[in-house]
Amino acid sequence: MPLHPTLYIDCRLDGRFCGKCCYDTRMPLTKRDVERIKKLGFAEEHFVDRRGRIPRLKNVDGHCVFLDPATNSCTIYPDRPEGCRLYPLVYEEDSDRVSLDPLCPKAGTIPQRFIKELGGALVGLINRLYEDYLGKR
């Protein structure tokens, strides 16, 4: 069983990793994410964007700092943030529901049962982000 709930999908299109979700990312980071990635030897300043109330993955040249643009693969894949593990599940705050990001080319291949099974993990992640950084939920 993985350390964190994870949605496993094959992110390849025509034999190449898609990486679309890693461009202009706004992926939030929990305190656990930050500590786990720091243990890999990365300085927090290297990967954390602290503008705003909740820290996010830093973008460099328009993509996530951990994306290898030559292969569109994640250089820290086994240790990637919790939000990345659950993508393309997204939380729609306006309607208070979990859905699939329509920008993901593979969203249509994910069975509804995974949305139900992992939706609670996504809501838990969001609650933890609020607690970690805003002191509420």
Does the residue 7 lie in any domain?
Answer: no
Residues 109-113, mean pLDDT to the nearest whole number: 91
Number of folded domains that form the chain: 1
Q: Say what the pLDDT of residue 9 is.
A: 86
In sequence order, what are the residues at sequence separation of 6 or more whose Cβ sits closer than 8 angstroms to the Cβ of residue 77? none
Domain containing residue 60: 12-134
Does the residue 129 lie in any domain?
Answer: yes
In the chain the first and final C-alpha atoms are separated, in Å, by 28
- Each residue's pLDDT tens digit, 33-72: 999 999 999 999 999 999 999 999 999 999 999 999 999 9
Does the residue 80 lie in any domain?
Answer: yes
Is 72 in a helix, a strand, or coil? coil
Does the residue 2 lie in any domain?
Answer: no
